[in-house]
A = this chain, B = another copy of it.
Amino acid sequence: MRHNFGAGPCILPQEVFRQASQAVLDFKDGLSILEISHRTPEFEAVLAEAVKLVKELLNVPEGYSVLFLQGGASLQFAMVPMNLLSEGQTATYLETGVWANKAIKEVKNFGTANVVASSKDANFNYVPKGYSIPEDSAYFHCTSNNTIYGTEMFSLPETKVPVVCDMSSDIMSRVIDVSQYDLIYAGSQKNIGPAGSVLVIVKDEILGKTTNKIPSMLDYKVHIEGGSMYNTPPVFAIYVAMLNLRWLKSKGGVAEIEKENIAKANALYMEIDRNPLFKGTAVVEDRSRMNICFVMENPELEKPFLKFVEENDVEGLKGHRSVGGFRASIYNALPITSVHRLVELMQVFAEKHPK
């Protein structure tokens, strides 16, 4: 068995792979999921179930629309200001890493981004706090989990302006109060499904106020009216997302998986803190439960350790080049047994390399 700690696209449940594989051969009456029209009642039912599962699993209140679109979070970086900002307006952004920074850069074509706080000074190893958001901001934008640096934002600042959040890497991993947000987006390829779609949850009443001219495909209202089928949707990506959300529901939903995720993260952080060879890179209070970043006290041991775990069926543990060391991505579908296996390998390696 392989232990896939890759940051994304990432592990999904084995039973989802089996069901998806079967549907590529025969989804309905001998036809593949890849050859059916998106206008068939069968695919319309898939999309409807995926949307219903998102609403159910996240307890989405009335007045919000749930969309499956294309272009990933990166296209959302532009769609957000295009739909929510007007010329001369300012939006407030929290800079917590490379992805937040990319979102900030896309604002310039539509208005001004005010970076209210940044953790750039410490290579983004913490989430800034104690800032205040100007009341005349068109919206406040934040990134709930920073995959590269292993930090996560567990609470929102007090504000009256609309809150927009890039939840690409921790959505569906913990209970959130959707009513605190006005727009949530998340590239699918972590806890939702495979690469090729992006989930958007948007409060209807914030739309339609901009003076920008918006191309149809970039207009949330057009996609809401079209029920995510303004054009041909990414059929297979949505189908697999639906299977994966079904799996999450069968596991007891987000509250249950959150307990499991806390147990997984605690097991690994405990070992990082206990084992004299390793140390975490993010400040303790902002440690992510999805992406656990750590290095070795002796950098010369990093290559041998990586080789050692890879020889033992561990995949994707290499850290991002901007942090170095290791990153264990422990998304919903990663079993706790994989975490325990990694902990064991850290211990075995430490025995072989006494400090």
| A residues with CB within 8 A of B | 1-2, 4, 6-12, 17-18, 20-22, 24-25, 29-32, 34-38, 70-75, 77-78, 82, 102, 105-106, 108-109, 187, 189, 194-197, 213-218, 230-237, 240, 315-316
Contacts and interface: CB of A to CB of B under 8 A. Distances in A.
A35 B4 contact: yes
Contacts of A10: 35, 37
Nearest to A76: B217
A29 B17 contact: no
Given A70-B72, A105-B216, A196-B237, 19 more contacts: A2-B30, A4-B35, A6-B35, A6-B36, A9-B235, A12-B34, A17-B24, A17-B35, A34-B240, A70-B196, A70-B234, A75-B215, A78-B216, A78-B218, A109-B215, A187-B232, A236-B236, A236-B237, A237-B237
Contacts of A82: 215
B17 A4 contact: no
A283 to B, nearest CB: 27
A216 B31 contact: no
Contacts of A240: 34
A231 B17 CA distance: 24
B236 A195 contact: yes
B22 A194 contact: no
Contact of A37 (B7, B35, B217): B7
Contacts of A102: 216
Nearest to A73: B231
Nearest to A235: B195
A215 B2 contact: no
A237 to B, nearest CB: 6
A106 B215 contact: yes
A34 B20 contact: yes
A348 to B, nearest CB: 22
A5 to B, nearest CB: 11
Nearest to A217: B75
A10 B32 CA distance: 10
Contacts of A35: 4, 6, 9-12, 17, 194
B75 A37 contact: no
Contact of A21 (B8, B24, B106, B195): B24
A196 B235 contact: yes
Contacts of A218: 75, 78
Nearest to A33: B194
Nearest to A2: B30
A31 B4 contact: yes
B38 A195 contact: yes
A214 B106 CA distance: 9
B189 A232 contact: yes
A74 B216 CA distance: 8
Give the one of A8, A75, A196 with max B CB within 10 A: A196
Contacts of A78: 215-218
A70 B17 CA distance: 23
A175 B231 CA distance: 28
A37 B25 contact: no
Contacts of A18: 25
B37 A6 contact: yes
A307 to B, nearest CB: 16
A32 B6 contact: no
